[in-house]
Structure 1
């Protein structure tokens, strides 16, 4: 078990470092598009979990969706908020507010909380316990809302 945890941690660290390097090689326009794709994919998986909680609960489907969310949350998405990504670029629009870039300490705390809640959802989903998933799902939704409310334009 310790070996599994260590190898998982090493893998996540490598993924995060690779994400930072990759993000640095992307233009601001590509960074915006990439982060939007990541958030769209997380949103799609959130909708799958919500549908399961409101209908017939399929633990394997929920587990797969929760793992996808956790993987993206842990992928180093913060690196996609590089210089020049604070405003629209040509046809690529962003809804990030300028305040996001002025409060990086708070944004970092919000992001760390989001990652923790995504990991907690994946852990709950791994047990197959619907009530545990429902609670973790609600907490992840609140973590999303914390950033959207303050740093995302309508």
Structure 2
């Protein structure tokens, strides 16, 4: 059931991103959408951390890990189109211009993040809290690797 829900979520998100890309989303909306995705992942990382710090609830961890993996695999790279390297209107971006000049490195960081997110979802499904803690740390390290290089303060 969990795998079916996960696959369905990924399919819906992928279709949404593909539709978004084809609809010529404005740079302002691209920034808003990607920030929403990262915020949602952050919220789910917080849920996992809370479970690792106190009473561990397997179902909550699995749900949060699946949500993170779904967003990570949703094709968010399509939301880094031309014009999104700077603030647009009243929407502020936190991405450094260097991000757009180093796409090979960005691609490597994105693949590493996706692999870590997918691993977290797989490990969470197995229920081993210690393994979840390690996989959770790997996701955090993958986030940090990109933030350290390409996120402005």
TM-score relative to the length of structure 1: 0.89
Q: CA deviation at 1:13?
A: 7.2
Count of residues in Structure 1 that have an aligned counterpart in Structure 2: 148
TM-score relative to the length of structure 2: 0.90
In 2, distance between residues paired with 1:32 and 1:24?
Answer: 16
Preserved CA contact (<8 Å) 1:59 1:128: yes
Taking a change above 3 Å as real, the CA distance of residues 116 and 38 of structure 1, as seen in their structure-2 partners, is same
Residue 20 (structure 1) aligns with? 18
Q: CA deviation at 1:58?
A: 0.4
Residue 138 (structure 2) aligns with? 139
In 1, distance between residues paired with 2:117 and 2:10?
Answer: 14
| Runs of 4 or more above 4 Å deviation | 10-15
Taking a change above 3 Å as real, the CA distance of residues 14 and 41 of structure 1, as seen in their structure-2 partners, is closer
Report the secondary structure of 2:91's partner residue.
Answer: coil
* Structure 2 residue ranges without an equivalent (≥5): none
Task: Give runs of aligned pairs for residues 58-77 of structure 1, distance below 5 A.
Answer: 58-77=57-76
Preserved CA contact (<8 Å) 2:94 2:152: yes
In 2, distance between residues paired with 1:13 and 1:59?
Answer: 24
Task: Give runs of aligned pairs for residues 29-108 of structure 1, distance below 5 A.
Answer: 29-108=28-107
Preserved CA contact (<8 Å) 2:31 2:80: yes
Deviations 1:89-144 (A, max 9, x none): 11100000000000001000100010000000000100011001000000010000
In 1, distance between residues paired with 2:57 and 2:124?
Answer: 10
* Structure 1 residue ranges without an equivalent (≥5): none
